[in-house]
């Protein structure tokens, strides 16, 4: 069973491409008023993401995978220094899918990702991992997921407003109206109404940067945003059903 996956994993000439490009990532939860203040601040010196609409927004749709025992979820709750998660992601209704492995070391993170076709994405969501896409990153991630006995765990969707500053590598995003769906997934069907993360209009702020955050940005963050709050959308989505 799964001969292609076994070949990928046990072939000594095949390995996940190396990438030590870890970046800093900090997260905050904002009230609607804090969001408006910080959004207007960002709009004064940053550009919208080039792939976004005229308001800098796009919809992020993520299908997450975890082990039978939800090991990735509980590693996050335990505060493990090194942890990971797998997800299948698309934007708006583009029909373009990427399979991602996100790795964390404290507040540092990096991603390995690769394109996957709609048909292969459907197979993956139905538990079929006997897939070989020809993309080195994608096939390596599928191999790991198979060996870890991963299966779909939940679906998260939100509207992201993204600002970038190319000169410094700074990226600031606001994730609005996040919601979660549990159960089986079919890409051909319209998703039912999602369960919201927040009922008060709160927004999740993420700041990503390289070796350092510009000092004047850091001062503005601490002036406009009360305090850093470590939030994982994946963990928060599963807490109502798994606890912790």
What are 48-94's pLDDT values in tens digits? 998 888 889 999 999 999 999 999 999 999 989 999 999 999 998 88
Query: For the segment 180-191, what is each residue's pLDDT rounded down to a tens digit?
Result: 999 878 887 777
| DSSP letters spanning 104-116 | EETTEEEEEEEEE
Q: How far is CA 96 from CA 61, 119, 197, 201, 225, in A?
A: 11, 11, 26, 29, 35
Query: For the segment 215-238, what is each residue's pLDDT rounded down to a tens digit?
Result: 888 888 888 776 666 788 999 999
Does residue 133 contact residue 116 with C-beta atoms inside 8 Å?
yes
Average pLDDT of the residues in 188-197: 86
Give the C-alpha separation, 9 to 140, whole Å: 8
Helix 3-10 vs helix 136-147: angle between axes, to the nearest 10 degrees?
100
Residue 152 confidence (pLDDT): 94
Strands 203-209 and 170-181, bridge-based pairing: antiparallel
Residue 47 confidence (pLDDT): 93
Q: Which of 22, 21, 41, 39 is nearest to 30 (CA)?
A: 39
Q: What is the dihedral of CA 110, 51, 201, 226, to 10 degrees?
A: 50
Eight-state DSSP code of residue 193: P
Residue 8 confidence (pLDDT): 45
Sorted by sequence, the CB contacts under 8 Å of residue 16 that are 6+ apart come out as 112, 137, 140, 141, 144
Half-sphere exposure of 112 (CA within 13 A, CB side): 20
Eight-state DSSP code of residue 150: -
**What ranges in 59-133 are assigned the alpha helix state H?**
71-78, 118-125
Residue 87 confidence (pLDDT): 97
- Domains contained in the chain, CATH given: 22-242 (3.20.100.30)
Give the confidence band of 19 by pLDDT, cuts at 50, 70, 90. Answer: very low
Query: For the segment 109-154, what is each residue's pLDDT rounded down to a tens digit?
Result: 999 999 999 999 999 999 999 999 999 999 999 999 999 999 999 9
Q: What is the dihedral of CA 15, 144, 138, 1, to 10 degrees?
A: 100
Q: What is the pTM of this model?
A: 0.88
- pLDDT > 90? residue 42: yes
Average pLDDT of the residues in 160-174: 91
Residue 197: burial class (beta carbons within 10 Å; 0-12, 13-18, 19+):
buried
Percent of the chain residues topping a pLDDT of 90? 64
Q: Which of 179, 175, 168, 184 is nearest to 218 (CA)?
A: 168
């Amino acid at each position: 069973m799964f001969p292609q996956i076994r070949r990928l994993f046990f072939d000594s000439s095949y390995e996940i491409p190396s990438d030590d490009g870890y970046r800093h990532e900090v997260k905050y939860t904002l009230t609607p008023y804090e969001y408006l203040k910080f959004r207007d601040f960002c709009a004064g010196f940053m550009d919208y993401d080039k792939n976004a609409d005229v308001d800098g927004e796009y919809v992020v749709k993520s299908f997450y995978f975890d082990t039978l025992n939800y090991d990735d979820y509980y590693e996050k709750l335990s505060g493990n220094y090194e942890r990971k998660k797998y997800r299948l992601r698309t934007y708006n209704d583009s029909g373009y899918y990427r399979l991602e492995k996100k790795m964390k070391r404290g507040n540092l993170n990096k991603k390995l990702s690769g394109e996957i076709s709609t048909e292969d994405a459907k197979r993956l969501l139905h538990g079929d991992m006997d897939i070989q896409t020809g993309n080195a990153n994608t096939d390596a991630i599928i191999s790991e997921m198979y060996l870890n006995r991963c299966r779909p765990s939940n679906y998260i969707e939100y509207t992201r407003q993204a600002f970038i500053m190319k000169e410094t590598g700074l990226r600031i995003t606001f994730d609005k109206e996040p919601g979660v769906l549990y159960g089986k997934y079919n890409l051909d069907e319209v998703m039912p109404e999602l369960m919201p993360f927040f009922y008060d209009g709160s927004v999740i702020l993420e700041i990503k940067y390289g070796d350092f955050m510009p000092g004047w940005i850091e001062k503005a963050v601490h002036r406009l945003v009360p305090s850093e709050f470590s939030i994982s959308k994946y963990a928060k989505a599963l807490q109502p059903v798994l606890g912790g």
